[in-house]
Chain A
């Protein structure tokens, strides 16, 4: 007598759902934004303009292996707004300072446990003078274990989102002690 919990058809459905889930996994910029406490009094008496990042690339269909400029831009906007460090954060018009960013490397590694390294350069320019007043390079890595997420594709997405989230967290930490 066969006591198998799942019949052959049930396994087939499970496998198909796993593939469907893997195919639908996509990066979510909201999950790239680090959690931040209550917004403090602005540390800088400046408004900040988020300039469109550079160095991003489109991922290959079905596989999340890079970050696009627009995705980092959205995550930066939400992060800097949530940080409360500046009096106002915008991506249009003029501001007292401009935050520029470049994606230098997006590095995947792993099979069962997936790791992504996300390396960026950030720099702030005073538009009045054109001078670079601050620069910081950040490398953040994030690992997602196979025990956390079964689907390889979802694991890659989570590892990449986690690496970006940690990277942005370090940006905020660096700005929290910076002099502009």
Chain B
């Protein structure tokens, strides 16, 4: 999926560059460990999906966390919108203190559904399980493990889920040095993973 390269290249923030590179790199990356599961019939009944905040482990640094949250939320809404789903933001809902990765990751979908906004029929859950990078003078790489779910609030049933392990590498012979310096490898690994995550999600039929 090409993501309007010129749109993103116009922006100065380095994180805005990742969808462009992600597309080109996506063609080169090895097949990801994808495990998409969905209930096709239930998915067609989905009308409005409420977008809930993405969950990240506490070990992810504050600086990375802000970038991840912003980029992933944007990618989540972009991908679901392009698949034809109606989206909404949580209304009359405040994020409870227990709405953290550490608390929610071990919970069952039914338990999580009890914390979701009361007026949402379906909601998204996005997890970044890990995002690590290693860097050398002329070479750097990052790996991320991510997952996303669409859950029916009333029943707590998962109507769609997928997970990805994505890797991003760059070196002086594949990227100009200035680009290497500008790009955030972890962000690119997470962003690339999120783009791949939704690739095979069934479109909403009208």
Chain A interface size range: 20 to 34
- Verify if B3 is at the interface (C-beta below 8 Å from A): yes
Is A108 engaged at the interface, CB distance under 8 Å to the other chain? yes
Chain A's closest residue to B16 (CB) is: A60
Q: Within the complex, which residue of A60, A62, A108, A137 is in contact with B48, where a contact is CB–CB below 8 Å?
A: A137
Contact between chains at B78 and A60 (CB < 8 Å): no
Main secondary structure of the interface of A (DSSP, over half): strand
Of the 9-residue stretches B34-42, B81-89, B147-155, B183-191, which lies at the interface with chain A? B81-89
Residue B27 lies at the interface, judged by CB distance under 8 Å to chain A: no
Which of B4-12, B94-102, B108-116 lies at the binding interface? B4-12
B1 touches A109 (CB 8 A): yes
A121 touches B78 (CB 8 A): no
Q: Write out the residue numbers on chain A whose beta carbons fall within 8 Å of the beta carbon of B11.
A: 60
A118 to B48, CA, bound (A): 14
Which residues on the B side are within 8 Å of A138 (C-beta)?
A: 86
Contacting residues, chain A, for B2 (C-beta < 8 A): 109-111
Q: Which of A129-180 contact B (CB under 8 A)?
A: 137-139, 141, 152-153, 156
CB contact between B4 and one of A62, A65, A102, A139 (< 8 Å): that residue: A65
Least CB distance from A137 to B in Å reads 4
For the complex, give the distance between the alpha carbons of A137 and B88 in Å.
7
Please determine whether B89 and A104 come into contact, CB atoms closer than 8 angstroms: yes
Question: Which residues in A have their C-beta under 8 angstroms from that of B88?
Answer: 104, 121, 137
- Residues A105 and B81 in contact, CB atoms below 8 Å apart: yes
B7 touching A63, Cβ below 8 Å: yes
Contact in complex: B7, A117 (CB < 8 Å): no
| Neighbouring A residues of B4 by C-beta, 8 Å | 63, 65, 108-111, 114, 156
CB pair A65 B84 closer than 8 Å: no
Whether B77 and A105, one on each chain, are in contact in the complex, defined by CB atoms closer than 8 angstroms, is yes
The reply to whether the CB of B47 lies closer than 8 angstroms to some CB of chain A is yes
Structural contact, A60 and B7, CB atoms closer than 8 A: yes
How far does the alpha carbon of A121 sit from the alpha carbon of B81 in the complex, in Å? 13
Contacts of A61 in B (CB 8 A): 10
**What CA separation (Å) do A114 and B10 show in the bound complex?**
18
With A109-B4, A139-B81 as contacts: A119 and B86 at CB distance below 8 Å? yes
On chain B, the residues within 8 Å of A111 by CB distance are 2, 4-5
Q: Which of B7, B10, B79, B88 lies at the interface centre, i.e. has the most chain A CB atoms within 10 A of its CB? A: B7
Residues on B with beta carbons closer than 8 Å to the beta carbon of A101 = none
Task: Indicate if the CB atoms of B82 and A117 lie closer than 8 Å.
Answer: yes
Contact B47 A105 (CB under 8 A): no
Q: Is A107 engaged at the interface, CB distance under 8 Å to the other chain?
A: yes
Name the distance in Å between B88's Cβ and chain A's nearest Cβ. Answer: 5
Given the contacts A107-B78, A107-B82, A109-B1, A63 and B6 also touching, CB distance less than 8 Å: yes
Q: Which of chain A's residues has its CB closest to B85's CB?
A: A139
Q: Which A residues lie at the B interface, using CB under 8 A?
A: 60-63, 65, 102, 104-111, 114-115, 117-119, 121, 137-139, 141, 152-153, 156
Told that A104-B89, A108-B3 touch, could you supply 5 new A-B pairs with CB distance under 8 A? A108-B78, A109-B1, A109-B3, A115-B82, A117-B81
Sample of 25 A–B contacts (CB below 8 Å): A60-B10, A60-B11, A61-B10, A65-B4, A104-B81, A104-B87, A104-B88, A105-B78, A105-B87, A106-B81, A107-B81, A108-B3, A109-B1, A109-B2, A109-B78, A109-B82, A110-B2, A111-B2, A111-B5, A117-B82, A137-B88, A139-B85, A139-B204, A141-B84, A152-B6
Q: Which 7 A-B pairs have the closest CB atoms?
A: A111-B2, A137-B86, A117-B81, A107-B81, A107-B78, A105-B81, A105-B77
